[in-house]
């Protein structure tokens, strides 16, 4: 019997703790500690796992699940704005609204990224001290690229 513990981040940003117990004969899946029986019905659909991502496409669900360590949280976002300190999607920096060596308040607009001809604003998720700016206006960022070197300890 082998067991695996991890969390998955669903496309809506929710975290689900998962435990997979697998033996040669059967599989048990625990979601948030609750045991879920695996239905014996044949299910139509496709699943592809690649690194930390699981691509799912069945008649009732389509999207990407992100595998993370248990206890870690996904970034929060809403509308054309996100509270994040790194590019959550690839895009071009159209506006850099803060400079280095300063405090920013939670919710302050930091960076505007453009992707697919639309603009998205990134706001500070908490009170943060910006030490260094790591991106330039006009620069094209890959997904996951941090905007700043920063600390959040209030000293």
Partner 1 sequence: MWNKRFLTLCLPKFFATFRMKDRRLFIANRGEIAVRIIQAARELGFFTILPVAEDDFVSVAAQEADLACPLEGENLSKTYLSIPKLVQLARENRADLVHPGYGFLSENKDFAQAVIDAGMEWVGPPPKAMELLSSKVRAKELCQKLKIPTVPFVTFPKEVSAKELEKAAEEIGFPLLVKASGGGGGRGMRKVFEEKEFAEAVHSAQREAQTAFGDPTVFVERLVSPARHIEVQVMGDKNSKLVALGERDCSIQRRHQKIIEETPSPLLSEVQRKYLEDYSIRLLQEAGYISAGTVEFIFDSKGQPYFLEVNTRLQVEHPITEERYGIDIVQWQLRIALGESLWLGDLHPKGAAIEARLYAENPYQGFTPQPGRIYELSFPRIKGIRIETGVGASGFISPNYDPLIAKIIAWAPSREEAIRKLVTALRETVIVGPTTNRDFLIAVLQHPKFAEGDYHTHFVHEEFDGAGLNWPEERLAQVLAAAFGSSAVVAAGNSAAQKAGSVFGELQLGREYL
The site for partner 1 (CB under 8 A) is made up of 4, 8, 10-14, 16, 18, 20, 22, 24-27, 29, 31, 36-51, 54-65, 77-82, 88-91, 94-95, 112, 114-120
Residue recorded with tokens 């939670």: 106
Residue recorded with tokens 């919710």: 107
Q: In terms of CB distance, is 38 or 100 closer to partner 1?
A: 38
**CA–CA distance, 91 with 121 (Å, rounded to integer):** 12
**Residue pair 113/85 in contact by the 8 Å Cβ criterion:** no
Least separation in angstroms between residue 34's CB and partner 1 is 8
Least separation in angstroms between residue 131's CB and partner 1 is 26
Q: In terms of CB distance, is 73 or 149 closer to partner 1?
A: 73
Least separation in angstroms between residue 95's CB and partner 1 is 8
Q: Is 68 helix (H, G, I), strand (E, B) or coil?
A: strand
**Residue pair 65/9 in contact by the 8 Å Cβ criterion:** yes
Q: How many Cβ atoms sit within 10 Å of the Cβ of residue 122?
A: 23
Least separation in angstroms between residue 45's CB and partner 1 is 4
Q: How many Cβ atoms sit within 10 Å of the Cβ of residue 85?
A: 22
Q: In terms of CB distance, is 115 or 134 closer to partner 1?
A: 115
Q: In terms of CB distance, is 17 or 129 closer to partner 1?
A: 17
Any idea how long the chain is?
155
């Amino acid at each position: 019997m082998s067991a695996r513990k991890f969390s998955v981040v669903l496309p809506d940003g929710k975290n689900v703790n998962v435990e997979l117990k697998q033996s040669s004969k059967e599989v048990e899946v625990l979601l948030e500690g609750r045991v879920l029986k695996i239905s014996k019905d044949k299910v139509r659909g496709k699943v592809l796992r690649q690194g930390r991502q699981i691509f799912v496409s069945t008649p009732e669900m389509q999207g990407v699940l992100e595998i993370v360590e248990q206890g870690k949280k996904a970034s929060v976002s809403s509308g054309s704005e996100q509270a994040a300190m790194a590019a959550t999607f690839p895009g071009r920096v159209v506006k850099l609204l803060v400079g280095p060596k300063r405090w920013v308040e939670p919710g302050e607009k930091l960076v505007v990224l453009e992707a697919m001809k639309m603009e998205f604003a990134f706001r500070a998720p908490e009170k943060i001290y910006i030490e260094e700016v790591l991106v330039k206006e006009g620069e094209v960022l890959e997904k996951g690229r941090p905007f700043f070197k920063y600390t959040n300890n209030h000293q």
